[in-house]
Each structure stands twice: as structure tokens, then as C-alpha cells.
Chain A
Amino acid sequence: AQSVAQPEDQVNVAEGNPLTVKCTYSVSGNPYLFWYVQYPNRGLQFLLKYITGDNLVKGSYGFEAEFNKSQTSFHLKKPSALVSDSALYFCAVREMHRGSTLGRLYFGRGTQLTVWP
């Protein structure tokens, strides 16, 4: 079974400091991993994904994520946080069905990121 854990409900950082939002996953095969961001009263927006290849994935708004197979982690990072990055962040893993192109996304419970000036 697939699952995603985001161990921190909240992350608080000062503007200009680096930020990390943690995510660990559990899948039976190779994972497809995603990060989404949700701003207040908005839908989820795609940030970045890992499918295969380079373990460091770059995405929107200066975010990046590092895939670590041995630690089954896919932490979201940004070198210098902005106040406007304050939002709810979701990690997700795509279910793999052999011989099928279908499969749901399993979401973590979300991490509220607050960047203070």
C-alpha cells in the first residue's frame, strides 16, 4: 500500500532563511512523487515532481526537492524563504498499477508553512 507522511504540521521560518518541508513515503515499487501548494481559499497548485533521473528536482517559485531512495524521503526545500511562500504544502505519491496508466495520488496531511518578515 502507498502512503505519505508529513511529520510536521507547521514549519515557521524567517524571511531570507532556508526552508525545508519534510516528506517520507511508502510504496511497493518505484514512486512518482509530487509537491503541491495550497494558498488560502484556493485549489492545489502543482510545484514539482520526481519521476526518474536526477535526485534533485527543481520546480516553481524557486522550490526544489531531493529524492532519497534509501531514506524514502522527498523533502521540499528553498534556499531563501519569502513571506509570500506562506501556504499549505502537500506531498503526494502516485499509486502504481502494473499494466495500467491509472492510479490515484495519495496525499500527506499537509504542512502549514509560515514565513515571517
Chain B
Amino acid sequence: DTAVSQTPKYLVTQMGNDKSIKCEQNLGHDTMYWYKQDSKKFLKIMFSYNNKELIINETVPNRFSPKSPDKAHLNLHINSLELGDSAVYFCASSQDRARGYTFGSGTRLTVV
């Protein structure tokens, strides 16, 4: 009964490959997010969807493309992976501004 689940937990891949990370939440939240945590642990928002509509799109290379088939899912597809994409990617969801986020456990992406 995990609230926000991400798969895979670990992902090791070669430069130039295309990969996807999946996220699902069973909390009934309307809004979902992708954050990137770099090697210095800094959290940077990438995207946010509200009821399948893109509402936040930060300055992220267009190799990154989010997809939300329904409000319970927000997937992240990355094309032509680069070494600098290595990081931990967190999915999160929230319901309203008086509440915080519920985070997934993260996906550690390593590009070699």
C-alpha cells in the first residue's frame, strides 16, 4: 500500500540511451511532481502536472519529457542520456497548498 511508488529504484545505463522512470500514487492527489537531487543533495523541481495538465516546466533540457496518462501516474522519459543526468530523481504528489508533498523513495540514475 505504498503511497507514491517509483520504478525502477536503481538504473544504470550507457550514454546515449533512452530510459523511462515510472511513478504512481494511490493517494488520490491531483498534482504530481518530478524533482532532481544532484550530488550535493540540492532538490530542483523539473515538472509538475495537475490532473494530467502540465503546470510547471522548469528549465530542463528537452531530452526530458514527462507524460501523465492519468492523474495517478507521472512518468519521466529521458532521451540521449548524458553523464550529467546522473542523479536521484524523486516523484512526489500533493493535494492542496496547505499540505506538503508525499515523496517516492527515488530512482538513482547512473549514466556511464
Complex interface: chain B residues within 8 A of A90 (CB): 43
Question: A88 in the interface, Cβ–Cβ < 8 Å?
Answer: yes
Complex interface: chain A residues within 8 A of B92 (CB): 44
Per-residue CB contact flags for chain A residues 79-117 toward chain B (1 = under 8 Å, else 0) read: 000000000101010111100011111010110000000
Q: Which of B11-19, B59-67, B79-87, B102-110 contacts A (4 or more CB under 8 A)?
A: B102-110
Partner of B48, one of A34, A38, A44, A104: A104
Per-residue CB contact flags for chain B residues 1-42 toward chain A (1 = under 8 Å, else 0) read: 000100000000000000000000000000101000000111
In the bound complex, how far is the Cα of B32 from the Cα of A104, in angstroms? Answer: 10
Q: How large is the interface on B (under 10, 10 to 19, 20 to 34, 35 or more residues)?
A: 20 to 34
In the bound complex, how far is the Cα of B106 from the Cα of A104, in angstroms? Answer: 18
Q: How far is the CB of A24 from chain B (nearest CB, A)?
A: 17
Given contacts A43-B90, A88-B41, contact A34 B33 (CB under 8 A): no
- From B98, B101, B108, name the one whose CB has the most chain A CB atoms within 10 angstroms: B101
Question: B76 in the interface, Cβ–Cβ < 8 Å?
Answer: no
In the bound complex, how far is the Cα of B31 from the Cα of A88, in angstroms? Answer: 25
For A111, give the chain B residue with the smallest CB separation: B41
